[in-house]
């Protein structure tokens, strides 16, 4: 009986300490996610008058890069053939974003979100995926779309960063056999693991930093990407 009481006390202390540390981590994460986006890198960025126009878009939670389908520097349509996306030459832009594979595939709406999907994504134990979407309308600057004019060198750096996120097999991207959110999007296997500290928005932020764009030092949330600087 004494051993049982000792075990119960030990278990109670362990549980208390566990939740104490857990809530400390969550509180620190929440504080840093709001604070660190205000400390920026590439603060000396200057828009290029005759540069490449790119966009960063948000759906309120997740962010993507929206890039020209083709220009003299790179042809995304040579990697993602428009006909396989039910797109044609009228589609001048393509959106690319990274995220947790399970979340992408199993959560088309917030009503589909389950605890297991959220836990796997947050803990970093799941796989990742790239979401590619042909965009039929010309992006227009708004609260959810930011526009940048960057140099050719910066655009090449961004292309290299995005391409490095795709898992390749025989030098080709690997499409995931799963329905997209609409008629013009698909999912692809990706490198890296999603977690609370390496989120879809942090992926976008890392790409912005790589391309020399002004961005916070850590951007796990959408507002860190869309914050005007």
DSSP 8-state assignment for residue 175: B
Specify if 190 maps to a domain: yes
Residues 135-164: pLDDT tens digits?
Answer: 989 999 999 999 999 999 999 999 999 999
Share of the chain above pLDDT 90, in %: 70
Q: What is the pLDDT of residue 223?
A: 92
- 8 A C-beta contact, residue 187 and residue 130: yes
Host H or E run for residue 47? none
How many structural domains does the chain have? Answer: 1
In this prediction, residue 61 has a pLDDT band, given cuts at 50, 70 and 90, of very high
Interacting residues of 74 by C-beta distance below 8 A, sequence separation 6+: 155, 156, 159
pLDDT exceeds 70 at position 11: no
pLDDT exceeds 90 at position 30: no
pLDDT exceeds 90 at position 117: no
Residues 77-114: pLDDT tens digits?
Answer: 999 999 999 998 889 999 999 999 999 999 877 677 68
Q: What is the pLDDT of residue 122?
A: 75
- 8 A C-beta contact, residue 74 and residue 83: no
Domain carrying residue 206:
39-226
Dihedral angle sign, alpha carbons of residues 78, 71, 154, 222: negative
């Amino acid at each position: 009986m004494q051993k049982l009481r000792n075990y119960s006390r030990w278990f109670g202390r362990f549980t208390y300490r566990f939740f104490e540390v857990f809530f400390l981590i969550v509180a620190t994460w929440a504080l840093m996610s709001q604070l660190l986006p205000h400390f920026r890198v590439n603060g000396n960025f200057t828009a290029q008058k005759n540069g490449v126009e790119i966009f960063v878009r948000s759906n309120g939670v997740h962010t993507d890069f929206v890039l020209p389908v083709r220009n003299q520097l790179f042809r995304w349509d040579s990697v993602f053939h428009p006909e396989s996306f039910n797109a044609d030459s009228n589609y001048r832009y393509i959106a690319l974003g990274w995220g947790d594979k399970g979340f992408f595939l199993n959560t088309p709406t917030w009503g589909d979100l389950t605890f297991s999907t959220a836990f796997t994504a947050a803990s970093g134990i799941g796989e990742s995926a790239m979401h590619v979407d042909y965009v039929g309308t010309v992006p227009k600057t708004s609260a959810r779309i930011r526009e940048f004019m960057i140099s050719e060198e910066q655009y090449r750096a961004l292309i290299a960063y995005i391409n490095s996120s795709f898992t390749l097999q025989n030098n080709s991207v690997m499409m995931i056999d799963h329905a997209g959110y609409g008629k013009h999007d698909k999912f692809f296997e990706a490198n890296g693991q999603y977690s609370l500290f390496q989120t879809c928005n942090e992926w976008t932020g890392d790409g912005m930093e790589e391309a020399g764009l002004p961005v916070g030092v850590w951007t796990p949330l959408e507002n860190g990407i869309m914050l005007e600087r």
